[in-house]
A and B are shown apart, each in its own frame.
Chain A
Amino acid sequence: MEFLAVLLILVLGAVVAVWLYIANQGDASFKFIVDQRTDFTLKALTKDTAVFSTTVPFVNNGTQDGTLMDVFPRHFLPCEQFDAVDTDTRLTLDSANRTDGYWEANIVPKGTGGSIILTVKFTAKSGDIIAALKNMVDMPIDIIYQVVARSPWYLAKTRLIMTADEIHKALAAGQQTVAR
């Protein structure tokens, strides 16, 4: 009986030790820092399209390395709210700029990070993008990311707002640059 009690205490002690080890080890923890993003700037302009981009930093401030399995943008511009443009959004890792819209799974060591370039392309349904964007509204964009690390995979999202004011300013600045 005494032997069994000692054995039970040993097993319980081992379980507690493993639990403490895991709890202390922690996990990766990602954050897209949208309030530190750059202003949207005009990257390209044609008669019927305008392309804007911003850079958004991210960090793994957890205690373990983590993998960003997938990261993609989701814009919210329903036709009920604004029907003058078709919208396309995509993003890429700043340090490995891809143009195909594919996110390559990427290990982010603990305590490090990087940044993404988020690109938004508006195409005027009328054929004139300057006129189409005149009454543009604020547009929320979610950055959705899938994480694989020490714990089960999960999806998370961070929202930023591309404001109409910002679009107009970027458009005006871009047009001035083109005019020069």
Chain B
Amino acid sequence: MTEQVLELKPVRTRILTAKDNIVDVIEQYAKDDIGPNDVVSVAESVVAITQGRMVRPEELNPSFLARVLCRFVPQKGSLSSIYGMQAAMDAEGKWRVAWAMLIGMLGKVVGRSGLFYELAGEQAALIDDVTGTMPPFDKYIVYGPADPSGVAEAIKQRLGCYGAAVADVNDLKRAAVLGVTQGLNPKEVARILIDNPFGNASQKTPIVIIKNYGLAVQKAAE
């Protein structure tokens, strides 16, 4: 794809909560900036928050298994606290997570890392432990969003844009697209968002419009 025509436009919003509908919010804050050749991308944690997919540690009752298994996750990982681990078990099933941990350990013994997150389910990789999101959600464990492709389709339908994506991007040059509208290449969108145009959470720009994406696709096809 030729990217000379592409422009990334972050959209600032107020703090969104579980009372908000992400499609309504995009319409409210960005409708006039979105054209038929644009792709609307939205941060996955904010989508999850608007879906009410979060829980305070105090609301969880960690199992014995969670207390043991969290000890085998490196400290920087969201599942290294018993609450992060319990949240993953609640989302994906405790035996699935336990099994993935066992296989993950065996994998490491033979030099194959990353098996745990491959096997434990999507939420195990998406969960943000406390401090992972800006106030007032810094005291919450935030799950990954539900049905990200459905959310992307709803955005496209309402805003009439070229496409939409729900993305997980951070400042460590890691970008993953969890859901896209039909016809969009998630890896391509992730590559475009790799420099984290969403900024850190305190910048309050959970929406990024990829301007002229459709034109770039057209040019690349010529």
Contacts and interface: CB of A to CB of B under 8 A. Distances in A.
Contacts of A150: 70-71, 80-82
B113 interface: no
B130 A64 contact: no
A70 interface: yes
B contact patch SS: helix
A76 interface: no
B176 to A, nearest CB: 23
Nearest to A109: B75
Given A105-B138, A150-B81, A69 B57 contact: yes
Interface in A124-160: 148-153
A150 to B, nearest CB: 6
Interface size bucket, B side?
10 to 19
B5 interface: no
A35 B62 CA distance: 36
Contact of A148 (B67, B68, B76, B130): B130
B204 interface: no
B130 A69 contact: yes
A29 interface: no
Contacts of B2: none
Interface string B125-156: 00000110001101100000000000000000
Interface centre among A21, A106, A107 (most CB of B within 10 A): A107
Contacts of B82: 150-152
B135 A104 contact: yes
B198 interface: no
A153 B57 contact: yes
B83 A105 contact: no
A9 interface: no
A131 to B, nearest CB: 40
A18 interface: yes
A21 B72 CA distance: 9
Contacts, number: 44
B57 A102 contact: no
B68 A18 contact: yes
B222 interface: no
A153 B141 CA distance: 14
B58 interface: yes
A70 B81 contact: no
Contacts of A153: 57-58, 83
A16 to B, nearest CB: 13
Interface in B112-133: 130-131
Interface string B43-66: 000000000000001100010000
Interface in B67-114: 67-68, 70-71, 75-76, 80-83
A26 to B, nearest CB: 10
Nearest to B71: A22
A-B pairs with the 7 shortest C-beta distances? A105-B138, A105-B131, A65-B75, A105-B130, A22-B71, A105-B139, A104-B138
Interface of A: 18, 21-22, 25, 64-65, 67, 69-70, 102, 104-107, 148-153
Interface of B: 57-58, 62, 67-68, 70-71, 75-76, 80-83, 130-131, 135-136, 138-139
Given A106-B131, A152-B82, A153-B83, 11 more contacts: A22-B68, A22-B71, A65-B76, A69-B57, A70-B139, A104-B135, A105-B138, A148-B57, A150-B71, A150-B81, A152-B67
